[in-house]
Amino acid sequence: MTKEALSKYMEEFKDSLIAPSDPRHQAVELLVRILAERIQDIAEISSVPWTVHVVDGPTINAFVLPNGKVFIFTGMLEAVAGIHQLVFILGHEIAHALIGHAAEQASLSHVVELLSLILLTAIWAICPRDSLAVLGQWIQSKLVQFLFNRPFSRKLEAEADQVGLRLAAKACADVRAGPVFWQQMEIYDQLRGEPTIPEWLSTHPSHQNRVRQLDRLVPEALELRARCDFPGLPKADPRVIFHQTVKLLLDNAKKQEKIAQEEKNEKRRSEVMLSLPQSPPVPTPGSQPQLGGLQATSALLQTLLSK
C-alpha cells in the first residue's frame, strides 16, 4: 500500500516538486536529518532511509509515508513561525510513521469496508433492486472516501502529538513552540471563517484541544530537552510572546475600529446636514450679507472632506 501511495503521490506532484538544490528543500532535509540523528536510539528511526519531497503548493500540510518518504508543502513552510515549529511538525509526522498509524488506519478501513459489504449484501438479499445496489455502492464509496480523506483519527493524532513532541525535544527544539503552532492555526481558521485546509485541519483534532494537551505535555518534554548539550532554551517562552502579540494586535484592531466608527459617524452627520433644505441667507439689518451658518458649515465640511 505504501508503494502504491508513493507512486500515486509522485505522479500527482511530479510537476510541483521543488528542486533538491532549493534552500527550502535543503532546510527540511537538514531538519529531518537532525531529527533522525538525535533519536537514533529508537531502532525504527535508524533503520528508515528518510527522503524529503517539498511540494510547491499553498496547502498547509505535511505527511510521512511508512517507508520514510517525507512530503511537505511550501504552504506549511510559510505557516510555521520558525524552525522550532517546523521540527515539531516533522516530529509529529515522523511519529505517525514510527507508531505504524497508516497500517492501523488501513486495517480499520478494511474492517469498515468488509462490514459495509456484509450489510449491503444483506439488504440486497432482502430487497434485490437495482436502485438499492446503486445506493449501496454510493454509501460504500462514501465510507471509503471518509476513511481515506480522514487519514488519522483523533486518538492517533493525540498519540502522534505526544510522541512528536518528545522527538522534537530529543532533537533539541524549543518544544514550547509546538502548542503555539496550533494557536496560530486556530486564529488562521477563524479569520478565514471556515476550515480551508482540509488535508490537515479537518483531519486533525480541534486546535483548542490539542493546544491544551500539548501544554500539559510540555513540562515533560522540557525535561527531555534539558539533556541536550545544545545552547539552553531562549529565556522568553514563545507561548507568552504569542499571547502578548495577539493581545497587542487585538488592541490595535479595536482602536482602528473605534477610529473608523467615529469617522463614519462624522461623515453621516455631515451628510445629514448637507441634505437639509438650504434657505437663502437672511441679511441681518445693519450687517454685510453673510453665508448662513448651515451653508458655511457645509462649505467648510465639503472643503475638509475633499482634502
Only one residue has cell 513540562, namely 219
Whether 93 is catalytic is: yes
CB of 97 to Zn ion, least distance (A): 10
H or E element, residue 237: none
- Least Å distance, CB 129 to Zn ion, is 42
Burial (CB count within 10 angstroms: exposed 0-12, middle 13-18, buried 19+), residue 107: exposed
Contacts of 163 (CB under 8 A, 6+ apart): 91, 95, 98, 99
Nearest of 135, 25, 46 to residue 94 by alpha carbon: 46
Residue with Cβ nearer Zn ion (160 or 168): 160
Q: Which is nearer to Zn ion, 104 or 237 (CB)?
A: 104
- Residues 160 to 179: which contact Zn ion by CB under 5 A? 160
By CB under 5 A, what part of segment 143-162 binds Zn ion? 157, 160
**CA–CA–CA angle 209, 163, 46 (5° rounding):** 155
The answer to whether the CB of 164 falls within 8 A of the CB of 92 is yes
CB 102 to Zn ion: min, Å: 11
Looking at the Cβ atoms of 50 and 63, the one nearer to Zn ion is 63
Nearer to Zn ion, 170 or 210 (CB): 210
Cα separation, 1 vs 103, in Å, equals: 9
Total site size for Zn ion, rule CB under 5 A = 2
CB-wise, 103 or 117, nearer to Zn ion? 103
163 contacts 96 by C-beta, under 8 angstroms: no
CB of 156 to Zn ion, least distance (A): 7
Q: How far apart are CA 185 and CA 106, in angstroms?
A: 28
Which is catalytic among the residues 4, 12, 93, 266?
Answer: 93
In the structure grid, which three cell numbers stand for residue 17, read together? 516538486
Q: How far is CA 152 from CA 108, 204, 249, in A?
A: 11, 8, 34
Shortest Cβ 78–Zn ion spacing (Å): 19
Q: Which residues are designated catalytic?
A: 93
Contact footprint for Zn ion (CB under 5 A): 157, 160
